[in-house]
Structure 1
Amino acid sequence: MRRRRLPPLAALRAFEAAARHLSFRRAAAELGVTPTAISHQIRLLEASLGLALFVREVRRVALTAAGQRLYPALRDGFDAFERGLADVSRQTGRKAVTLTATTLFTARRLLPALGAFRAQHPSFDLRLHASDDLVDLAAGLADIAVRYGSGPFAGLVTEPLLSERFGVLCNPSLGLSAHEDLKRVPLLHVEWKRPDMAPDWRRWARLAGLTALAVDAGPRLTDDGYALQAAVAGHGVVVASLVLAKPELEAGLLVHPFGPEIAGEAYHVVATPENMAGADVIAVRDWLRAVVRGA
């Protein structure tokens, strides 16, 4: 049989999504990657073909003539893949539900409880999609989601799960017991994608009435999970989620030596009205309720 000579599937998926949206950013959100990753995959595809597929402008992209010829073939091909996979899924009699949530929430709350879901619902396959990018539920990219924010979310059935709280966390070996102790330890910072929602040292110091605290000094990390790991290792003190750091607090790896606490937004379980009426999605919703119970 003749061997197919095809570019990597990741590059083809990136091109098809970007061509459909005419946006690298929206394609990245759909596929759960960064816009830079989409751009990289498309450049790989262009290099393998020896052709430019997009005209890149300051705030938009457009398909070249070659891109316009390629897009319908890939679109129809991926549509055929989807239909074939759906047919196979129906024949096996198993249902697959995709749940999307932020990376840290997935790691801290969902993965540890996954075994319980499988035990309770052996006929369902639960797929966890961990991403800090917003996934379009209306487009069918996931069946149900846990979203962080004020809610409700337009066009979606929205149910609050639990409220977030942030506070000072550190390794007990640092011996922090009073606000004055913060002057002798590094302050760890997390670079949130939404600075307006960030529970940072500046907000905490304002609540604590500490005008002299050097709130901008200290190491900066791009991920709140890494910041928690750094705090566990004793590299400094961080303002982080008291809800998602619960395992470390219960194990004594971290302590919350003093207040105040910063009130965060809420985590919500959301789905389209059609999906929320399905027995499989209802099962996932009920499992999420159990996951956060007692948090």
Structure 2
Amino acid sequence: MLAARPERPLEDLKDPMPPFVSLRVFEAAARSGSFARAAEELGISAGAVSQHIRSIEEFAGQPLFRRLGRGVELTEAGKSAFAHASAAIAEMLQAGRAMRSALRGRRISISTAPSFASKWLIPRLSQFQELYPDTEVRMSADMTLTDFSGSDMDLAIRYGPGGYEGLHCERLMTESVVVVCSPRLLEGQTGAKTAADLINLPLIHDDAPERDPSCPTWGMWFAARGLRRADAERGLRFNQSSLAIEAAIGGKGLALAKRQLALGDIADGRLVAPLSEAEAPVNFAYWLVWPRGRRFEPAQMAFLDWLRAQAIEGDSAADHTA
């Protein structure tokens, strides 16, 4: 009878594995070019990121990063390691998806910008939950673009030009700009139907980082109508479209709002679109994006079909309110 072979300590292996958690931190820091952004993405402290980077550099026996003033860049050894680490993390995430395929059939994870989430998607979610009560929706609302190689997101909704490299892109909805304000702002004014009727009202500015270059500023908007307003750049400014819309609802001024985001508030009477002119289409649109070749489970397919139907219904409602 053969004697049992003694177990070999992992540390005695010829090619020891790098510490996995530290490897994932290294991959996030290398991909983002920042320890701070890696900490934010992974939900850990900046100190923990630094500790994991020290650990992985001790394993490597050499520096993997050059510390710069506002970020970091990879050394040659770091660049070589990152190519493999990125592929390894992507494969680990795919393995996790495969392990949880039964659960994924009852769950959808989606990423989108906060303004689109709060003004368009969340108000409609109850309809989806009524249709699919056993499906869990997980939503991540932030301004950063989803990196599918480093996250467990099924799909994302992006506002932009489309054509994102390496991703399947499907246009969900077009967008246009409409002047909106609270009905209270027009109290005492009768028949405000032209740009000239609005020349003295306070202005609200949408400075969201995903701003479409074809979306006019107030100065451009008035100039296109043959009007000059010296204070066109003054007024409240917000870094999220939803906040600009909320300020308009609160009677703080006129806003050049994205139609899709303002549609619900117009329909409910919290906002009015006082001008008789047509809305101005913009170049950006809302896109459904996910990695090419991704296989969806029933929950994701149901959510995609529901989103498409909601977009068609929303466009129909917009046509009736125009």
User: How would you bin the TM-score normalised by the shorter chain?
Assistant: 0.7 to 0.9
- The correspondence for 1:281, drawn from 300, 313, 321, is 300
- Distance in 2 (CA, whole Å) between partners of 1:214 and 1:82 is 52
Greater Rg over alpha carbons, structure: 2
Q: Cα offset for 1:251?
A: 1.4
- Distance in 1 (CA, whole Å) between partners of 2:103 and 2:142 is 29
Q: Cα offset for 1:102?
A: 1.4
- Distance in 1 (CA, whole Å) between partners of 2:137 and 2:119 is 17
* 1:181-206 CA-partner distances (Å, limit 9, x unpaired): 33322111122214535442133223
Residue 238 of structure 1 aligns to a residue in which SS? strand
Judging changes above 3 Å, is the alpha-carbon distance between structure 1 residues 141 and 89 closer, same or farther for their aligned structure 2 residues?
Answer: closer
Q: Cα offset for 1:85?
A: 6.9
Within the alignment, does 1:266 sit opposite 2:289 as a pair? Answer: no
Q: Percent identity?
A: 27
Residue 307 of structure 2 aligns to a residue in which SS? helix
Judging changes above 3 Å, is the alpha-carbon distance between structure 1 residues 275 and 25 closer, same or farther for their aligned structure 2 residues?
Answer: farther
* 1:121-158 CA-partner distances (Å, limit 9, x unpaired): 34532211112221123444421111112223222222
Q: Cα offset for 1:236?
A: 0.9
Within the alignment, does 1:150 sit opposite 2:167 as a pair? Answer: no
Matched ranges for 1:184-195 at <5 A? 184-194=200-210
Residue 248 of structure 1 aligns to a residue in which SS? helix
Partner residue, 1:163: 174
TM-score by length of 2: 0.67
Judging changes above 3 Å, is the alpha-carbon distance between structure 1 residues 14 and 226 closer, same or farther for their aligned structure 2 residues?
Answer: farther
Residue 291 of structure 1 aligns to a residue in which SS? helix
Letter in 2 for 1:21: R
Runs of 4+ with deviation above 6 angstroms: 81-85
Judging changes above 3 Å, is the alpha-carbon distance between structure 1 residues 229 and 99 closer, same or farther for their aligned structure 2 residues?
Answer: same
- The correspondence for 1:137, drawn from 148, 157, 170, is 148
* 1:100-122 CA-partner distances (Å, limit 9, x unpaired): 11111111222122233233334
* 1:37-71 CA-partner distances (Å, limit 9, x unpaired): x8xx3157659xx99x975314641589xxxxxxx
TM-score by length of 1: 0.73
Judging changes above 3 Å, is the alpha-carbon distance between structure 1 residues 16 and 123 closer, same or farther for their aligned structure 2 residues?
Answer: farther
CA contact (8 A) 1:137 1:272 kept: yes
Within the alignment, does 1:99 sit opposite 2:117 as a pair? Answer: no
- The correspondence for 1:42, drawn from 43, 46, 62, is 46
Residue 245 of structure 1 aligns to a residue in which SS? helix
CA contact (8 A) 2:176 2:281 kept: yes
CA contact (8 A) 2:205 2:255 kept: yes
Partner residue, 1:244: 261
Letter in 2 for 1:158: C
Judging changes above 3 Å, is the alpha-carbon distance between structure 1 residues 282 and 187 closer, same or farther for their aligned structure 2 residues?
Answer: same
Aligned length: 270
Judging changes above 3 Å, is the alpha-carbon distance between structure 1 residues 267 and 216 closer, same or farther for their aligned structure 2 residues?
Answer: same
CA contact (8 A) 1:29 1:133 kept: no
Partner residue, 2:126: 115
The two structures, once aligned, show a CA RMSD in angstroms of 4.1
Partner residue, 1:203: 220
